[in-house]
A and B are shown apart, each in its own frame.
Chain A
């Protein structure tokens, strides 16, 4: 017979009350100024970012890591990016920090007009370069864990999860992703902050067409989603605005520790830079979103409604039966 393992509320109460009354807040690593500082990244947290191909997932996450390193001088981070080598990722950051377009940097067309900006941006990157490491192949969780230990990393970035293999053999992609997320949860529980980037699948838009349109994306849109959405503390999807190429919304689909709140951003692709919307864009964006919600008769930011559209619950129910 299995021994029962439980903790009574009265036993838990003393420790919990002390924790509440001593006022020690959870450690968080801010990933940017303004609205971006509300995104929770920290020890014991798994933060999930998704988006359609080309939406800017990697650009956003790399910006977040670089700014986290700049804002928290003791933070050390590792990046496991299966698609881009370190040089390409750094090219993008050089463009963002210098204001020199990525094309000029990529093709090394730099001249004296760029010199001062490039010099300052390089100096900025150098200032935390010893606290950032890139995981090299093989891109599997064993290597990620070993690298995190060796580098003493407080933040692990996995870009993207569907391409990072867990230990053991897995016939189905879904079971592989589920197990990867299970391991990631263990990384977080051990006190590490984890940022996970995930691909999303096409969904039916408002006209029934299969697309990556933002109004159709939900928690169920994450590819192989069941464990992803359950394992993450916060889940975001980057959705570009159909009418404005530079305007994107970081839709906050899940928040385990607070309320969800979407963040409007401006994405300058030539610099690979996300920034705040100006006042006019914020107002028109808010009006438009309100209009969209009214047209579709969807309550804004209703997490319950999104959960109802999530297919993953069915898988778990089958497993329990």
Chain B
């Protein structure tokens, strides 16, 4: 299965075992105290790795509104995705909603942002996943 390809009939991927759910279930069943601690540390380390890659490799190529948008989405990321409305991003970044939309387009084109789920009038805000470095 490729990134934007179409899945052939009969070639649907096998079930994805959600790592988060599997880990927490395993911990409950085996009753190991403090099992979630290393996971949290790992998640924190992953967040720093993303931020470091962004600052070290991507920041200098970007315009200021793009940086603000990326940072807000990074700030709002929980479990790998951020679900923030464009109006909210605009308010917090001090820019217009139109500029936010342009920035999102540029970040997406640069490979620094992925749209996991597109929002809409009846679907709520889009879901984004930020990437620290497009070469990663």
Chain A residues in the interface with B (C-beta under 8 A)? 32-34, 67, 70-71, 96-101, 104, 108-124, 127, 268, 270-271, 273
Whether B29 sits at the interface, judged by CB under 8 Å, is no
Interface with A: B4-12, B33-41, B87-95, B100-108, which one? B4-12
Q: Give the docked Cα–Cα distance between A100 and B15 (Å).
A: 6
Supposing A112-B81, A112-B129, A113-B80 touch, asked if A33 and B9 sit within 8 A by C-beta, the answer is: yes
Chain B residues in the interface with A (C-beta under 8 A)? 1-10, 12-16, 18-20, 79-81, 114, 116-117, 127, 129
Q: Provide 20 A-B residue pairs closer than 8 Å at the C-beta atoms, listed in order of the A residue.
A: A34-B10, A70-B9, A97-B12, A100-B18, A101-B15, A101-B16, A101-B18, A104-B18, A110-B116, A111-B129, A112-B116, A113-B19, A115-B80, A115-B81, A115-B114, A119-B3, A119-B116, A121-B7, A270-B15, A273-B12
Which of A100, A113, A271: most chain B Cβ within 10 A? A113
Q: Is the CB of B7 within 8 A of A97?
A: yes
Q: Which residues of B contact A110 (CB under 8 A)?
A: 81, 116-117, 127
Number of A-B contacts (CB under 8 A): 84
A162 to chain B, nearest CB (A): 30
Q: Give the docked Cα–Cα distance between A101 and B117 (Å).
A: 16
Q: Is the CB of B19 within 8 A of A115?
A: no
Q: Is the CB of A114 within 8 A of B19?
A: no
With CB as the reference atom, state the residue of chain A lying closest to B15. Answer: A99
A39 to chain B, nearest CB (A): 14
Q: Is the CB of A114 within 8 A of B3?
A: no
Q: Is the CB of B13 within 8 A of A67?
A: no
Q: Which residues of B contact A273 (CB under 8 A)?
A: 12
Q: Give the docked Cα–Cα distance between A33 and B8 (Å).
A: 10
A276 to chain B, nearest CB (A): 9
A151 to chain B, nearest CB (A): 21
Supposing A99-B15, A109-B79, A112-B81 touch, asked if A120 and B9 sit within 8 A by C-beta, the answer is: no
Q: Give the docked Cα–Cα distance between A34 and B18 (Å).
A: 29
Q: Give the docked Cα–Cα distance between A118 and B10 (Å).
A: 17
